[in-house]
Amino acid sequence: MRLSFRHLSRSALSIGPAVLLLAASQVRADPPADAAKSHDGGRFGVAASIQYAFNGSDNSVLPVVSLGNRDDLAQSPSRRLVSLHYRVDVGAAARPESRADLAHSLMLPGRLGLTLGASHDVTNSTGTRVVVPEVSIAAKWVPWHADTTALKVGISGGLGFSANRIFHASIMLTRAVNAVGSREQKKLLAASNSPDLWASDVSVTAGLHSRTNGFGVFGAFGAYLFDSKFHVPPTGRSVFSLGIRKAFG
């Protein structure tokens, strides 16, 4: 019995370090719950931005507050096959003063906006991230005259790119109608003297984003495509803006 006890003691001593090493490696391999949650792509946050539209109207400074579960491409990639995202934008855009101003406003943040979308993320070991395809449905409210309101409702598709969650860029194509309901459509047609309510446009954005303090700068370009560009004056067919952004949470 004494020999057997010593034999068991030696076995326990030899197995003990192996068990400790295995347990330690398992602790290192399993990420914390908060870290796993941050890579889930579903974190809710608030962001504030202000941008200036260079070829817009005289009131081209656009402050916007955004609430949603998506911070463009600067957030951690999602582990899901398809990521769902949503965003609500509240802005302080001025009323357009002309048809060209209205055309610009429909490609810039409005008074109120809602976006629902889905995307698939592909990320490699270097941190480069590609979001393709990116599909979203959005509604944007732009007040015009006292009795006329433009409600742009459209579907967009495109792709995005991110490098190390610092640089991000995207390109989106949108097909939209600028008024919903026969009454509002008649008002918009009469006020704008436009031959068509439907419009197609392309938007390109690029920016730099800090991973530590949520601060970033960005640029955005929008232009009407196909026959849509002939429905507005030449000065209203494209718009370029620069802005700064701060994310919270």
SS3 track for 204-232: EEEEEECCCCCEEEEEEEEEECHHHHHHC
For residues 6-19, give the mean pLDDT: 42
At 50 the three-state DSSP class reads strand
Percent of the chain surpassing pLDDT 70: 75
**Residue 20's pLDDT is what?**
31
Range of weakest confidence among 93-97, 115-119, 174-178: 93-97
For residues 112-122, give the mean pLDDT: 91
Q: Running DSSP on this structure, what letter comes out for residue 166?
A: T
Rounded Cα–Cα distance for residues 169 and 206 (Å): 4
Residue 31 has pLDDT above 50, yes or no: no
Tokens of 145: 């005259």
CB atoms within 10 A of CB 143: 17
Binned at pLDDT 50, 70 and 90, residue 166 comes out as confident
Rounded Cα–Cα distance for residues 104 and 56 (Å): 6
Residue 135 has pLDDT above 80, yes or no: yes
For residues 196-220, give the mean pLDDT: 92
What is the DSSP annotation of 65-129? EEEES--TTSSPPPSSSSEEEEEEEEE-PPPP-SHHHHHHHTTS--SEEEEEEEEEEEE-TTSEE
Would you say how long the chain is, in residues?
249
